[in-house]
Chains A and B, each alone.
Chain A
Amino acid sequence: MKLITAVIKPHKLDDVKSALESFGVQGMTVSEASGYGRQRGHTEVYRGAEYTVDMVPKVRLEVLVDDLDATGVVEAVVKAAATGRIGDGKVWVVPVDDVVRVRTGEHGADAL
């Protein structure tokens, strides 16, 4: 099993969600995040005083998938989240030892 984590632009969340649903992914966890990469932040001015705002709002999306689906899911996320401009985000994949469904106690792929 793999955990796929994507940090994307907030306004692309709906596109990514639809793409994953078409792919057959049945669940996901989404959280609000803030941070920066190569794009850095932006500047705001209040009463003449300049503030550099480093942290940019992002959405962090996590999906647990079977090994065989991982590549396809990553491709789907990247395709849906891309705008071609700086700040589109990142997607990464890590192996997962075990998953348990809390309600039934099922383990492994059955719990996905």
Chain B
Amino acid sequence: MVDTGATAWVLTSAALVLLMTPGLALFYGGMVRPKSVLNMMMMSFGALALIGVLWVLYGYSMAFGDDVGGGLLGDPTQYLGLKGLMEDTTSEAGGLPAMAFVGFQAAFAILTVALISGAIADRVKFSTWMVFAGIWATLVYFPVAHWVFDFSNDETGHVGGWIANGIEAVDFAGGTAVHINAGVAGLVLAIIIGKRRGFGREPMRPHNLPLVMLGAGLLWFGWFGFNAGSALGANNTASVVWVNTLVATSAAILGWLLTERLRDGHATSLGAASGAVAGLVAITPACSALNPIGSIVVGALAGVLCALAVGLKYKFGYDDSLDVVGVHLVGGLWGTLAIGFFAVENAPQGASGLFDGGGLALLGTQAVGAGAVLAYSAVLTAIIGFALKAVMGWRIPEEDEVSGIDQHQHAESGYDLVGSFGGHGPSAGPVARSTTRTSEGAQA
């Protein structure tokens, strides 16, 4: 029997999670300069396109097929092209059609890949990005999703991944598989690809903060599907998770703004948007294991920690352009490890952390899960990154980077504004061209 309530909620959540990637495109797009807004957004839309197809072809099977050994990888041929999943198998799967789960998890795969793009803004060939996205999803995300999200099922005899079933680390919606994974990949790529021309010397301030805030709002909205949808049912767990996702995020905004106010003298809109995302990242793995008060603590500390972490790139000299490391890697690590301290047994997860009298065992398990994903992603990303550097090259020519990647890579400009009021230096905007060769050609 189909559980209609659960199916309706998971399908709705899948659409919510999918909206996060366009939301991310706005969040990132507003943070770059006007000459590269389209390329920034296209990296997200490129992930939507490519990973959506790969997921159906073999990605789902690699992540959620029967384990081929050691909990490391699902059988890529079992559901190749989603074969065998169109029939109604809901009796085995707890009332949820397999395709609902396929769709829900597809959106996770897409978002994880898109998250990485923030670390390498303004300077990367679109072709190399697309090839990277496909290879990285195949070699890194699909296996790691199997480790973390694929639970074994005794009734059907399905065998899942090692983090979910072997060490049983708590990662409800993807602190490890999504945020640590993408965050460390962004760090490695930013180092391999190198800094933007003028990094640390020229001002590279966000060109459209209203876009950033709109993007953060859409991310938050979609994140309710990401976290509460991961309950895979319309039930109490989903409801608890929903409230934790709300309150941790609110507290994180407060934490980030307070840090800024004390350090820089002002509470900024970019800080509010960034704080929201930092809180969402941190509560993602922990949302089922905490009570709402614990969520406030974890969220507020995420806001403070990430606000401090975004300054690291200037200290160490890597150009993680839009702070994928400071927000997703640091936030993801914090949220995953915080479970070891703040988990309470009467939360839906039923795990007990240090402050709940559970000792240090859970913290150790969490550290193993986080460390394994971090190390695997770092090594594989480095191999893929260096290979592509040798074969295709990552960077666009210096001249085109300075004049604007949108023109060079996409033959478009984001804004047809002549003369930027209040801008600095010569306008980075396009010069209007009056030739209409295409339409003349069509008439002839």
Contacts and interface: CB of A to CB of B under 8 A. Distances in A.
Contact of B424 (A32, A45, A54): A54
B424 A55 contact: yes
B310 A47 contact: yes
A52 interface: yes
B423 A55 contact: yes
Contacts of A27: none
B205 A51 contact: yes
Contact of B310 (A31, A48, A53, A57): A48
A45 B264 contact: yes
Contacts of A53: 203, 424
Interface string B395-427: 000000000000000000000000101111100
Contacts of B307: 47-48
Interface in A53-106: 53-57
Nearest to A55: B424
Is chain A's interface secondary structure helix, strand, loop, or mixed overall? Answer: strand
A39 to B, nearest CB: 15
A38 B274 CA distance: 36
B425 A55 contact: yes
Interface residues of A, number: 17
Contacts of A57: 421-422
B206 A46 contact: yes
B437 interface: no
Given A32-B419, A32-B421, A53-B203, A45 B274 contact: no
B268 A34 contact: no
B314 interface: yes
B197 interface: no
Contacts of A55: 422-425
A55 B263 CA distance: 26
B271 interface: yes
B303 to A, nearest CB: 13
B270 A47 contact: yes
Contacts of A34: 421-424
Contact of B203 (A32, A48, A52, A56): A52
Contact of B266 (A32, A45, A49): A45
B405 to A, nearest CB: 20
Nearest to B266: A45
B264 A48 contact: yes
A44 interface: yes
A106 to B, nearest CB: 30
A9 to B, nearest CB: 12
A29 B263 CA distance: 45
Interface in B169-220: 203, 205-206
A29 to B, nearest CB: 14
B323 interface: yes
Contacts of A45: 260, 264-266, 268
A31 B421 CA distance: 10
Nearest to B326: A47
Nearest to A54: B424
B357 interface: no
A108 B421 CA distance: 34
Contacts of B421: 32, 34, 57
Nearest to A44: B205
B5 interface: no
B27 to A, nearest CB: 13
B422 A46 contact: no
B166 interface: no
A47 B275 CA distance: 10
Given A32-B419, A54-B424, A55-B423, A49 B314 contact: yes
Given A34-B424, A45-B264, A48-B260, 18 more contacts: A31-B419, A34-B421, A34-B423, A44-B205, A45-B260, A45-B268, A46-B268, A47-B274, A47-B307, A48-B264, A49-B311, A49-B314, A51-B203, A52-B203, A53-B424, A55-B425, A56-B422, A57-B422
Smallest CB-CB A-B distances: 4 pairs: A51-B203, A57-B422, A55-B424, A45-B264
18 contacts: A32-B421, A34-B421, A34-B422, A34-B423, A44-B205, A45-B264, A45-B265, A46-B205, A47-B271, A47-B307, A47-B323, A48-B264, A51-B205, A54-B424, A55-B423, A55-B424, A55-B425, A56-B422
